Amino acid sequence: MPKQGSINIYTIIVQIPTFSDIQSAYLKIQNKVHRTPVLSSQKVNERAGGGELFFKCENFQKIGAFKFRGATHAVGELSDNNAQNGVATHSSGNHAQAVALAAKLRGIPAHIVMPKNAPGVKVRAVRDYGANITFCNPTQEAREATLEEVVAETGATFIHPYDNLDIIMGQGTAALELLEEHPKLDMLLAPVGGGGLMSGSAIAASGLAAYTKVIGTEPEIANDAYLSFNSGELYPVQSTNTVADGLRTSLSELTFSCIQKHVDDIITVKEQEIIDTMRFVWERMKIIIEPSSAVPVAAAFNHIDTHDQQVGIIISGGNMDLDHLPWMK
């Protein structure tokens, strides 16, 4: 224990994935994931004020979101010995479905802890992939405690939705595909929730397109990444009701380190901008994107000068409750 009055310098060393890790992940998963299309639209370009926007459409990915990439990679990396006890996670969203399907395709058990108030449609989706579901009280503590019990009982390997190297490597493969098709992007935009997609995307760009400006985007009322990025200190997200329900989580030390190293800027958008943008894309492009996916598009529409720029945007997913659209009160 240092004596009082001395100066203590702690250095935290966090190992983050490299570009070659993402290339290697891609070789392993490329035959298991969809190579999603890159779409563009004259009306979207006009709305953005010129330039060319390229949407990497992970809403067309298996399970309807990019999460299947990371889960496929993480499940695939388990040794046969570890894999036989299965995998576990807690999630009520896309990560739960992604882990459930990836486990099913490898032929191993998946144990998913879900809050007992999770929407029936999400519970059914996970169950349809053959996962074992354990319900818990709807608090973060209950989730983690229940998960620990499940892991202790089953010997399953916990797969965190973003605080996990293999997950980040897998998520980065969407940007890798986009940059292969459009190597001259001036900017690459992605949403920031827990930071797994943002980290992987930024690392992919660092290896393939060092001149591409990498911009994270998040809701103004869930601006933990913005605050962390600009202060250099990791801020947890405050309780938030942002319509972009995929972006209510906080960065981890791991994803924060990736973002500090490889992201150039973080931009926030207002709730109404997210809703208006989502509706614009549905109406003009006839594709269903979830609110989290509208966040980077809203940034391009309202806060970035895209004139004469080639702008890549990761459209993260298309899963949402069609009974409750955010423009309906």
Question: Which chain residues interact with its own copies by CB under 8 A?
Answer: 37, 59-60, 64, 279, 282-283, 285-289, 318, 322-323, 325, 327-328
Of the pair 32, 213, the CB lying nearest its own copies is at 32
Of the pair 64, 86, the CB lying nearest its own copies is at 64
Of the pair 42, 81, the CB lying nearest its own copies is at 42
Pairing state of beta strands 187-191 and 265-269? unpaired
For the bound state, the minimum distance from the C-beta of residue 58 to its own copies, rounded and expressed in Å, comes to: 10
* Gap between the Cα atoms of 215 and 256, Å rounded: 14
For the bound state, the minimum distance from the C-beta of residue 259 to its own copies, rounded and expressed in Å, comes to: 28
For the bound state, the minimum distance from the C-beta of residue 75 to its own copies, rounded and expressed in Å, comes to: 20
Residue type (1 letter), 51: G
Measured CA distances, 289 to 55, 108, 317, 320 (Å): 11, 31, 6, 8
Per-residue tokens: 75: 């499940």
Of the pair 64, 109, the CB lying nearest its own copies is at 64
Contact 135, 91 (CB under 8 A): no
For the bound state, the minimum distance from the C-beta of residue 123 to its own copies, rounded and expressed in Å, comes to: 15
* Gap between the Cα atoms of 94 and 116, Å rounded: 17
Residues contacting 188, CB < 8 A, separation 6+: 175, 178, 179, 201, 202, 205, 209, 212, 213, 214, 215, 311, 312, 313, 314
Residue type (1 letter), 69: R
Of the pair 161, 317, the CB lying nearest its own copies is at 317
Cα–Cα–Cα angle for 98, 314, 157, rounded to 5 degrees: 25
For the bound state, the minimum distance from the C-beta of residue 59 to its own copies, rounded and expressed in Å, comes to: 5
Of the pair 64, 219, the CB lying nearest its own copies is at 64
For the bound state, the minimum distance from the C-beta of residue 326 to its own copies, rounded and expressed in Å, comes to: 11
Of the pair 195, 317, the CB lying nearest its own copies is at 317
* Gap between the Cα atoms of 276 and 274, Å rounded: 6
For the bound state, the minimum distance from the C-beta of residue 317 to its own copies, rounded and expressed in Å, comes to: 9
Residue type (1 letter), 273: E
